[in-house]
Amino acid sequence: MNSIAVVGSGLVGVVLAISLKQKGFDVVVYDKSIDIRHMDFKGRSINLAMSDRGWKTLREIGIEDEVKQLAIPMHSRAIHTIDKQQSIQPYSVNGDSAIWAISRGNLNKELITIAERFGVEFCFDTPIWDVDLDQGLLYTAKEERDKWTSIKYDVIFGADGAYSRVRHRMQKQSMFEYQQSYLELGYKEFIIPADAAGKHKLSPNLFHIWPRKDFMFIALANTDGSFTCTLFLPYKGKVSFESIQSVEEIEVFFETFFSEVKELIPDYLALYQENPVNSLVTMKCFPWVYEGKVALIGDAAHAVVPFYGQGLNAGLEDIYVLSRIIDNCTERNWKEVFKAYQENRKPNGDAIAELSYRNFEEMSASTADTMFLLRKKIEVNFSKKYPKLWLPLYDRVTFSDDSYLKALEIGDKQKSIMDDIMQIEEIALIWDTEAIEKEILKRL
């Protein structure tokens, strides 16, 4: 049986290791970090929203129920406007599909324990500095400048994230397409602590958003009664991390835009001052694989901004698709497997990158916009009546099995139809009439 190394013990690396171990391969996972089960894990994490694509993968390896213990379902968005009003927007047409809030740190720790139970071997505190693509060698040393030793594997997976070392080696090949690009927006972590009774201060079953157009604050519940929160804010400009630095500036900023948040987080000032500003990268590359030896997976192959909540879900779906391909390839020909994997996943990686990039505007601005809400209502109305003709984009990305590419393509078509519809005179008055329904049908 082949020996397989997985570089990276993040969520995708560990789930991949479990999946491969279950197929009978010898699997070793390497990570430069020490075992995170012995670490405090905070300061730069955005809570995850696990949705159908993620669960599908965990279900296949038989750990869905166990992991769901860590997660809190969220059926709707709660939009907190600047005048402290809250409006609820269900995520799905039917209103009962949920995305699941889950702490990245807790999930990762739990997955490592599960993987050990399945017999996956872990080498922590073991940085991989380079890879020999042809020979399948990993090079390791405590420090990059020390003498490296090599370890040989039949197959190597780079699951080492957006700054992948394995990909760095592939990037040096001729004809390797590569692009990394940062938003002019950073983020900072906050925590809403549990109340005196240890309970959540807001409903835990809602995805809380305080949209303010060019910036926003979000909160996702943890199982311990707290919320992990993220402030997304431009690096520079009139209202930005650069312009908000002194105690007074921070206080005025929260008082003006997030007075509700200010009350929920007694130590918001200290958290703003202590926590780092993290950046948001989109990374695309091609190819993802090298012969039958090396493959990139998860963020190492396609890093996206977090605004669709699909980064992890896309990585887990990579594993789901790869697993099917391995099972269907009776001779375990890795070159064939990797080729099919790449052909299937690369277009979808690009599509979710595009969808994620676009969704910041929807989250930060449109969710508080009347015309946007009207547009959603028309879509939901129509979709309920003609479920086979219209599934809204968000539902397709989050709650369906359709590919991201298909979602993007159909989404663009739907958008152009809805752009037309929204131009109709007095649409706000006649939106739920048969006339409008006919206009949509005509365009489909």
Could you give the count of Cα atoms lying within 13 Å of 19 in the half-sphere of its Cβ?
Answer: 25
Q: How far is the CB of 301 from a second copy (least distance, A)?
A: 16
Decide: helix, strand or coil at residue 418.
Answer: helix
Q: Does the protein bind a second copy through residue 146 (CB under 8 A)?
A: yes
Which of 289, 280, 284 lies closest to 178, judged by CA?
284
Stretch touching a second copy by CB under 8 A, among 41-49, 141-149, 323-331, 359-367: 141-149
**Residue whose token pair is 């872990």:** 122
Please give the distance of CA 280 from its chain centroid, rounded to a whole number: 12
Helix (H) or strand (E) holding 259: helix 259-264
In the shown chain, the binding pattern of residues 279 to 318 toward a second copy, with x for contact by CB under 8 A and - for none, equals: x-x-------------------------------------
The Cα–Cα gap between 201 and 220 comes to 12
Written as one letter, the residue type at 89 is Q
Residue number, 185 or 209, with CB nearest to a second copy:
185
Non-local CB neighbours of 267 within 8 Å, separated by 6+ positions: none
Q: How many residues are recorded in the chain? A: 444
Which residues, listed in sequence order, are joined to residue 99 by a DSSP beta bridge? 74
Which residue, 103 or 282, is less far from a second copy as judged by CB? Answer: 282
122 binds a second copy (CB under 8 A): no
Tell me whether residue 427 is exposed, middle or buried, using C-beta atoms within 10 angstroms of its C-beta: 0 to 12, 13 to 18, 19 or more. Answer: middle
Residues 175, 201 contacting (CB under 8 angstroms): no
Reduced to 3 states (helix: H, G, I; strand: E, B; else coil), residue 306 is helix
Q: From the CB of 269, what's the least distance to a second copy, in Å?
A: 25
Pick between residue 162 and residue 373 the one whose CB is nearest to a second copy. Answer: 162
Q: Is 140 helix (H, G, I), strand (E, B) or coil?
A: strand
- Could you tell me which stretch among 78-86, 273-281, 326-334, 398-406 binds a second copy (CB under 8 A)? 273-281
66 lies in the binding site for a second copy (CB under 8 A): no
Cβ proximity to a second copy: between 53 and 169 the closer is 169
**Closer residue to a second copy, CB minimum distance, 294 or 440:** 294
At its nearest, how many Å lie between a second copy and the CB of residue 146? 6
130 lines the binding site for a second copy (CB under 8 A): yes
Instruction: Using the minimum distance from each CB to a second copy, give the nearer residue, 44 or 262.
Output: 44
Q: What CA–CA distance (Å, rounded) separates 74 from 436? A: 31
Residue 172 or 385 with smaller CB distance to a second copy: 172
How many Cα atoms sit within 13 Å of 439 on the Cβ side?
Answer: 20
Nearest approach in angstroms of CB 7 to a second copy is: 16
User: How far apart, in whole angstroms, are the C-alpha atoms of residue 137 and residue 160?
Assistant: 16
Q: Chain-centre distance of CA 336, in angstroms? A: 28
What are 224's two structure tokens?
Answer: 């311990």
Q: Is 134 in the site for a second copy (CB under 8 A)?
A: no
**CA atoms of 132 and 152, how far apart (whole Å):** 9
Q: Rule CB under 8 A: is residue 33 a binding residue for a second copy?
A: no
Told to check if 343 binds a second copy by CB under 8 A, we report no
259 binds a second copy (CB under 8 A): no
Check binding of 142 to a second copy (CB under 8 A): no
Q: Does residue 203 interact with a second copy by CB under 8 A?
A: no
Residue with tokens 């206009």: 439
Single residue of 35, 144, 195, 224 touching a second copy by CB under 8 A: 144
Cα separation of 95 and 227, whole Å? 23
Region 147-176 residues binding a second copy, contact defined as CB under 8 A: 147-148, 150, 163, 168, 171-172, 174-176
- Interface with a second copy in residues 214-233 (CB under 8 A): none
Closer to a second copy by CB, 102 or 185: give it. Answer: 185
135 touches a second copy (CB under 8 A): no
Give residues 318-337 in contact with a second copy (rule: CB under 8 A).
Answer: none
CB closer to a second copy out of 143 and 248: 143
* CB of 138 closer than 8 Å to CB of 5: yes
Minimum gap (Å) between residue 174 Cβ and a second copy: 4
Q: Which of residues 144 and 263 has its CB atom nearest to a second copy in the complex?
A: 144
The footprint of a second copy (CB under 8 A) covers: 130, 139, 144-148, 150, 163, 168, 171-172, 174-182, 278-279, 281
